[in-house]
Structure 1
């Protein structure tokens, strides 16, 4: 049935519906405010604790405002020196950068081969690589520990880079397989007609068209490696190669007499690199969230 959009009655009906849809829902607003407060309370606790001394923290309520901002630097110095966070930060940064970078690069090469080349049993190869994610990581710890012990990789920098690279490959492969598959194949064919090699097609045609997903995946895997405690506490517990999370755990256990304020300050320090990395790469990360487009 045709509708006369110039009819005043029809226009008034649309206006009434529009006004009804714009009425505020106080229940939803109240729920949103409660959830926001619940979300912000841990951050409030974090930022008031790092500005307290140990005595002030023990005397006052955990949510009381600090009396001064001066103790913050002393807490930073104690967390940095007592926990050995300088060496641990360098270790974790190298594990995260190399592990996430190598895993993303290897996953990109594998995804190119599975989607752009005519490989036999491509799906079987993909399932073989991805099958490792079907089991919890705890199942790998015992064989990894004894395998690293026999090969001399236990408590070594190379061993940690190797294990992080291996466990970080499947997820980027899953994502890039779909991302590379969505790129028009005419790009490959045109490049090959011009005499480009497969490496040239991969490096100059495919990778630039998947820049967003690649950076997003690197950031996700970097965060995973940086925050890992499971593998690093079992395979790299010595002070020379331990990660920042193991150092944070050791600070909480060994130097608990320094007070929760120092431990919380160390936790704040350990979160800085991932936050800074996300700030600088946020534009690519947001575009990379559209992984299939």
Structure 2
């Protein structure tokens, strides 16, 4: 008993199916991007609205009469420029120091597999499970003995310690992707371990370095708890702490200046990512060609 076979799909049907699938992918990607960008777009729109428009029952997507009054009020109310410079100094220093420490440490942990390196990897994961409240008291006592309370160098040290475990975990995967044959060839040519790391491995780690640098910078820039506890005077506080000053004791915030200050606090991270994104893509392409 013969069974009926399905008719073969023609080229036009296959092309239509591919076009429909591609359209569905684009629609899903567009919806995802809109979902991610909506809070930022709403924040920007709020920062340009007048107090009367913010108090209106019917919200508006686009300000009817956009103005910079909220930005002027934000700068008049709090030292935003000084706090932004403090955050930039702390986050930039912490991210650079973290990457400088994490690169050789990750290389040693990957290439010299031993019980010590495996125990170090396990400790990296365990350290990320500690709640902040548990470590803030001993951390505060250590910094007090070092006379680094209420200082930007002390906060930078804390951020380095806080970002380093995850930076090590990220870079280990990139180091494992570097072929050992390249290092063996460099060793045959007489290169030392340090020379091999600097001249052979490091150029191939560009995507990992950029990704780790971005992660460390954004983490330090957005961090709030350590900065709140360790920094006391307003002239040394970071941007994340200054934003809380726009909220009153009863939780009532001046929404317009708060939105303006929040957008200004978000802008450096966006610019930093946009600046390093090209280097990340070019580093990935270069690593693929060299590999």
Is the structural similarity TM-score above 0.5? yes
**Residue of structure 2 equivalent to 1:198:** 193
**Residue of structure 2 equivalent to 1:81:** 76
**Residue of structure 2 equivalent to 1:159:** 154
Tell me, in whole angstroms, the C-alpha distance in 1 between the residues paired with 2:177 and 2:22: 41
Does the C-alpha gap of structure 1 residues 11 and 44 become closer, same or farther in structure 2, counting only changes over 3 Å? closer
For the 8 Å contact 2:49–2:256, the answer to whether it is kept is yes
Among 218, 237, 260, the alignment partner of 1:223 is 218
Shift of 1:11: 5.2
Moved more, 228-237 or 276-285: 276-285
Shift of 1:180: 0.8
Shift of 1:19: 4.4
Tell me, in whole angstroms, the C-alpha distance in 1 between the residues paired with 2:109 and 2:58: 58
Tell me, in whole angstroms, the C-alpha distance in 2 between the residues paired with 1:180 and 1:96: 25
Does the C-alpha gap of structure 1 residues 280 and 122 become closer, same or farther in structure 2, counting only changes over 3 Å? same
Shift of 1:62: 3.7
**Residue of structure 1 equivalent to 2:64:** 67
Tell me, in whole angstroms, the C-alpha distance in 2 between the residues paired with 1:124 and 1:228: 28
The CA deviation string for residues 183-233 of structure 1, in whole angstroms up to 9 with x for no partner, is 111222222233322221111111100101110111111111111111111
Shift of 1:121: 2.8
Moved more, 126-135 or 235-244: 126-135
**Residue of structure 1 equivalent to 2:54:** 57
Does the C-alpha gap of structure 1 residues 287 and 234 become closer, same or farther in structure 2, counting only changes over 3 Å? farther
**Residue of structure 2 equivalent to 1:128:** 123
Secondary structure of the residue aligned to 2:236 is coil
**Residue of structure 1 equivalent to 2:4:** none
Among 89, 93, 104, the alignment partner of 1:94 is 89
Tell me, in whole angstroms, the C-alpha distance in 2 between the residues paired with 1:68 and 1:158: 44
For the 8 Å contact 1:216–1:289, the answer to whether it is kept is no
The CA deviation string for residues 111-139 of structure 1, in whole angstroms up to 9 with x for no partner, is 11112346663212332344311323332
For the 8 Å contact 1:45–1:63, the answer to whether it is kept is no
TM-score by length of 2: 0.81
Does the C-alpha gap of structure 1 residues 52 and 277 become closer, same or farther in structure 2, counting only changes over 3 Å? same
**Residue of structure 1 equivalent to 2:172:** 177
For the 8 Å contact 1:100–1:165, the answer to whether it is kept is yes
For the 8 Å contact 2:206–2:284, the answer to whether it is kept is no
The CA deviation string for residues 83-134 of structure 1, in whole angstroms up to 9 with x for no partner, is 2111111111111111111112211110111123466632123323443113
For the 8 Å contact 2:99–2:167, the answer to whether it is kept is yes
For the 8 Å contact 2:150–2:232, the answer to whether it is kept is yes
Tell me, in whole angstroms, the C-alpha distance in 1 between the residues paired with 2:212 and 2:138: 28
Question: What CA RMSD, in Å, does the superposition of the two structures yield over aligned residues?
Answer: 3.5
Secondary structure of the residue aligned to 1:135 is coil
TM-score by length of 1: 0.81
Shift of 1:48: 2.5
Tell me, in whole angstroms, the C-alpha distance in 2 between the residues paired with 1:91 and 1:225: 11
Mind listing any 5+ residue stretches in structure 2 that lack a counterpart?
Answer: 1-6
Moved more, 100-109 or 135-144: 135-144
Q: How does 1:96-115 map to 2 (within 5 A)?
A: 96-115=91-110
User: Does 2:207 match 1:212?
Assistant: yes
How many residue pairs are counted as aligned between the two chains? 282
For the 8 Å contact 1:216–1:288, the answer to whether it is kept is no
**Residue of structure 2 equivalent to 1:148:** 143
